């Protein structure tokens, strides 16, 4: 017998309109979006989310980590809440789908359930997590909500800490209040997230939906190569302590090392800051933003040791000092098997093809998975492009993904996890 509500579908036209309204906030000339956490455009997107939710008759709320939620009480008063979400922040000059798709899809699911007056075994909450992209602190909102945030994460913000504190203060928040966002896991039935794949496996295999099995662990560091500023014209090449050379040599060596010794893992030097930073001054310091990922905890540890040893070797080679700040660290995460099977059932109900695959990108689902059953659904990404304005997922793929989110939520809410 078909499960109850298995014929329910989202309104694709309303979904598309809503998605485009959001994409206009913080839009860039090349049709991407620029919505770094706590920026004016990010705050505007969050206000839009609230206005939209209120006009759909949903309750809204902000917690002490600035996570924004829309709530539909469709269970009994003592029911737990099933969270559906993602994030409205973007990387600097990113794409319009990363995170946004999951939030718009969550809103559309709540609207569909609400207008059909369904009574379920759980309440439904659409949640927009704060700073998923780690402009300041990676997964800030989900770490706070799940009780995993620690003072150390805040001390070692990836973005400028002073600006981070100012942004919190503007919102009437502080580092201390962030910890008050913690929610009792017993109050949560689970967490579901729809996201673009950000790779090209679904496209290449001509499959409509991805069901994520594991999510990579990510570690990030700031490395300071410290040398000596000197005149660029009068200091002989063999008398320099050029911090820029240490950083550059490290970036190339890190790539070779990971390709050679850790196939499948990835390493990125995403930024290098030279100081004083002038044509005619040998760099006194070079600050490297280093990030690496693997789905294997043991390898993550081994990569860290190998990369830090390499950085020390390059520092020595160019007569530099090396200082290392450890920043974010998330563990590789296996997602709940039962939820994966439920997503597969939803795909079957909808007659959509699906495959199981790991995620090389980080997601709030990996943080939420530490405290409740969590599931992650992928929609195909054109050309596999992401973290760039080239991100694109067709309206049909967005609609399919949102219907899978809806049907999965209904199955979980009706049958439990
Ligand atoms: C988030 O998008 C990440 O994987 O960096
Ligand atoms: Mn992202
Ligand atoms: Mn994302």
Q: Which residues of the chain have pLDDT under 50?
A: none
**Each residue of 262-309: pLDDT tens digit?**
999 999 999 999 999 999 999 999 999 999 999 999 999 999 999 999
- Choice from 94, 159, 363 to test ligand 1 binding pocket (greatest atom count within 8 A of CB): 363
Environment class of 346 (CB within 10 Å of its CB; exposed 0-12, middle 13-18, buried 19+): buried
Angle in degrees, CA 18, 22, 24, rounded to 5: 120
Ligand with minimal distance to 362 CA: 1
Given this model, what pLDDT does residue 14 score? Answer: 97
Using CA atoms, how far apart are residues 366 and 101, in angstroms rounded to an integer?
A: 18
Whose CA is closest to atom 1 on ligand 1? 362
| Numbers of helices and strands, H then E, in the chain | 13, 15
> Under 8 Å CB-to-CB from 256, ≥6 apart: which residues?
none
Q: In whole angstroms, how far apart are CA 149 and each of 12, 134, 137, 215?
A: 37, 13, 10, 19
Q: Residues with Cβ within 6 A of ligand 1? A: 133, 361-362
Q: What is the pTM of this model?
A: 0.93
Given this model, what pLDDT does residue 156 score? Answer: 82
Using CA atoms, how far apart are residues 129 and 62, in angstroms rounded to an integer?
A: 10
**Each residue of 400-416: pLDDT tens digit?**
999 999 999 999 998 87
- Choice from 89, 361, 364, 385 to test ligand 1 binding pocket (greatest atom count within 8 A of CB): 361
Environment class of 397 (CB within 10 Å of its CB; exposed 0-12, middle 13-18, buried 19+): buried
* CA 389–ligand 2 middle distance (angstroms): 12
- Choice from 138, 294, 362 to test ligand 1 binding pocket (greatest atom count within 8 A of CB): 362
> With left for phi above 0 and alpha for psi between -120 and 50, is residue 271 left, alpha or beta?
beta
Which residues have CB less than 5 Å away from ligand 3 (the ion)? Answer: 98-99
* CA 74–ligand 3 middle distance (angstroms): 28
Given this model, what pLDDT does residue 417 score? Answer: 65
Ligand 1 atom with the smallest distance to the CA of 387 is 2
CA-closest candidate to residue 25, choices 72, 115, 88, 75: 88
């Amino acid at each position: 017998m078909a499960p109850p509500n298995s014929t329910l579908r989202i309104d694709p036209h309303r979904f598309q309109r809503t998605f485009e309204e959001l994409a206009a906030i913080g839009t860039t000339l090349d049709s991407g979006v620029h919505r770094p956490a706590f920026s004016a455009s990010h705050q505007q997107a969050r206000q839009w989310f609230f206005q939209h939710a209120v006009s759909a008759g949903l309750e809204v709320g902000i917690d002490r980590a600035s996570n924004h939620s829309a709530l539909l009480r469709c269970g009994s008063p003592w029911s737990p809440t099933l969270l559906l979400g993602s994030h409205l922040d973007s990387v600097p000059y990113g794409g319009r789908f990363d995170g946004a798709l999951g939030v718009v899809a969550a809103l559309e699911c709540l609207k569909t359930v609400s207008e059909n007056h369904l009574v379920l075994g759980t309440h439904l909450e659409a949640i927009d997590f704060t700073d998923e992209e780690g402009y300041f602190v990676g997964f800030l909102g989900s770490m706070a909500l799940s009780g995993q945030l620690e003072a150390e994460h805040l001390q070692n913000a990836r973005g400028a800490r002073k600006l981070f504190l100012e942004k919190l203060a503007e919102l009437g928040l502080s580092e201390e209040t962030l910890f008050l966002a913690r929610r009792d896991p017993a109050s949560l039935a689970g967490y579901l997230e729809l996201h673009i794949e950000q790779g090209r496996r679904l496209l290449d295999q001509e499959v409509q939906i991805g069901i994520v099995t594991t999510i990579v662990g990510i570690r990030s560091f700031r490395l300071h190569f410290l040398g000596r500023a000197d005149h660029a014209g009068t200091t002989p090449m063999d008398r320099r302590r050029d911090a820029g050379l240490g950083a550059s040599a490290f970036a190339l060596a890190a790539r070779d090392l990971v390709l050679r010794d850790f196939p499948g893992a990835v390493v990125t030097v995403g930024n290098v800051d030279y100081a004083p930073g002038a044509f005619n001054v040998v760099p006194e310091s070079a600050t490297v933003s280093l990030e690496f990922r693997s789905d294997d905890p043991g390898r993550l540890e081994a990569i860290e040791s190998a990369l830090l040893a390499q950085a020390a070797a390059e520092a020595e080679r160019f007569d530099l000092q090396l200082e290392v700040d450890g920043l974010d660290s998330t563990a590789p995460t296996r997602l709940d098997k039962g939820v994966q099977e439920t997503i597969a059932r939803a795909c079957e109900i909808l007659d959509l093809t699906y495959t199981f695959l790991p995620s090389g990108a980080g997601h709030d689902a990996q943080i939420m998975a530490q405290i409740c059953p969590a599931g992650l659904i992928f929609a195909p990404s054109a050309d596999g492009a992401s973290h760039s304005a080239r991100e694109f997922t067709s309206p049909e793929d967005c609609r399919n993904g949102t219907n899978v989110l809806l049907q999965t939520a209904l199955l979980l809410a009706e049958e439990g996890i």
